[in-house]
Every structure is written in structure tokens, then in C-alpha cells.
Amino acid sequence: MPCAIGFGISTPEQAKQMAGLADGVIVGSAIVRLIEKHGADSAPYLSEYVKTMKAALRR
């Protein structure tokens, strides 16, 4: 059965570490914080954040 970890994951390093233990990594609160901080202008910040997370998982 696939298993994803998502509690407390907010940095690329954490995502990479947890990806070695699970089938997936869930990031929620960090994305919500970016939206809270940047509001309607958050799209480029979210895009960059997701890119860094994906890059960490590819290594």
C-alpha cells in the first residue's frame, strides 16, 4: 500500500529525507504560508518553491 508523509515537511532537505522513507511527500502548510505572505502575488513564489522541492526529490 502506498504511503505518503506530510506532517512538518517544508524544506527541500526534509522532503528529500522523507522521500527515502515513503512513496510520496505532502507539503501543505508551507504553501499556505507563502499565500498568506504574498496574497494575490504569490504565484511566482509558489512556482519557485515547488521547483526547489521537485529538484530536491530528483537528486
Task: Give the DSSP H/E element, type plus range, for residue 34.
Answer: helix 29-38
* Dist. CA 40–CA 48, nearest whole Å: 15
- The pLDDT tens digits of the residues spanning 10-22 come to 999 999 999 889 9
**pTM of the entire structure?**
0.83
Strands (E), 1-59: 4-5, 24-25
34, pLDDT greater than 90:
yes
Asked if residues 11 and 29 have their Cβ atoms less than 8 Å apart, the reply is no
User: 37: which 3 cell numbers?
Assistant: 505572505
